[in-house]
Amino acid sequence: MQLIVIRHGQTDHNVGRVLQGQRLDDPLNAVGRREAQALVSVLADEHIAALYSSPLKRARETAEALAGARLLPIVFRPELMERDFGELSGQTWEDVMAVHGGHMQEQNKQLRYDYTSFGGESHEQVRARLRQLLEELAAYHGGDAVAAVTHGGVIRLLHDELKVELPAHVPNASIHRFEL
Known binding residues are 7-14, 58
Tell me the binding residues for substrate: 7-14, 58
Q: What angle do CA 33, 61, 39 make, to 5 degrees?
A: 55
46 is catalytic: no
Q: Give the count of beta carbons closer than 10 Å to the beta carbon of residue 39.
A: 24
Q: Which of 8, 123, 159, 176 is catalytic?
A: 8
Q: Which of 35, 61, 79, 82 is catalytic?
A: 82
How many angstroms separate the CA atoms of 25 and 15, rounded?
Answer: 15
Residues in Cβ contact with 57 at an 8 Å cutoff, skipping those fewer than 6 apart: 25, 26, 27, 28
How many angstroms separate the CA atoms of 143 and 180, rounded?
Answer: 9
8 is catalytic: yes
How many angstroms separate the CA atoms of 152 and 158, rounded?
Answer: 10
- Catalytic residue IDs: 8, 82
